[in-house]
Amino acid sequence: MNMKKFALSAFILILALSVIAASVLPATASRIKKGQTTQFNIGRAGVSFTKSQFTGTVRLARTDPSGFGAVNHPKFKYPLLDVRLNKSNGEKVTFVLGAVYVYFLLRPSEMRDWEQGKLALFVYDSWGNQWKECYSFLVSNHGSTPRLACRMRTFSVFGLAEKKLDN
């Protein structure tokens, strides 16, 4: 009887964890090799590696901003972009090496907001439990959709949000 209860409890625990994982785990996973220059995107956001310093798996997910209980909470335009990397041996990578950029594609109205200083990229600082503005710059090629980008320092969660303007 105890073995059946244990098996049932284990099954329920596994089922519950899989439901939680489905809502938390990334929607895409892509392989990257050291020295590779590539980009990965999900929706209107993505990450770009220039001569990657890593070999492993890049995981991207779009997450809901309401799941973060940060002490400050900007007004995000879209779901957040969660960027994670695991080395080939499965080890989680926290700090970025080399030129790795996160970006969000801008619509014309967002382009105007950015030009007026009303829009920025933010990164979640889990140590301080707060959102920090990530120094952003515009990337636009002839005829392509403009991107607002910032250089990543840690693999984390990023968002496109309205800036609080000083009055």
CATH number of 28-162: 2.60.220.30
The predicted structure's pLDDT at residue 146? 94
51: confidence class by pLDDT, cuts 50, 70, 90:
very high
pLDDT in tens, 52-93: 999 999 999 999 888 887 888 899 999 999 999 999 999 999
Q: Residue 140: what residue type?
A: S
Residue 18 has pLDDT above 70, yes or no: no
**Hunting for tokens 């590696």 — which residue is that?**
49
**Residues ≥6 apart with Cβ < 8 Å to 138:** 114, 146, 147, 148, 149
Name the least confident of 23-37, 39-53, 79-93: 23-37
The predicted structure's pLDDT at residue 4? 58
DSSP string covering the chain: -HHHHHHHHHHHHHHHHHHHHHHHS-SEEEEE-TT--EEEEETTEEEEEES-S--EEEEEEEE-GGG---SS--EESS-EEEEEEEETTSPEE-B--SEEEEEEE--HHHHHHHHTT-EEEEEEETTTTEEEEEP-EEE--TTSPPEEEEE-SBS-EEEEEEPPPP-
Residue 17 has pLDDT above 80, yes or no: no
Average pLDDT, stretch 92-102?
94
20: confidence class by pLDDT, cuts 50, 70, 90:
very low
pTM of the model: 0.79
pLDDT in tens, 100-151: 999 999 999 999 999 999 999 999 998 889 999 999 999 987 678 999 999 9
Average pLDDT, stretch 14-31?
52
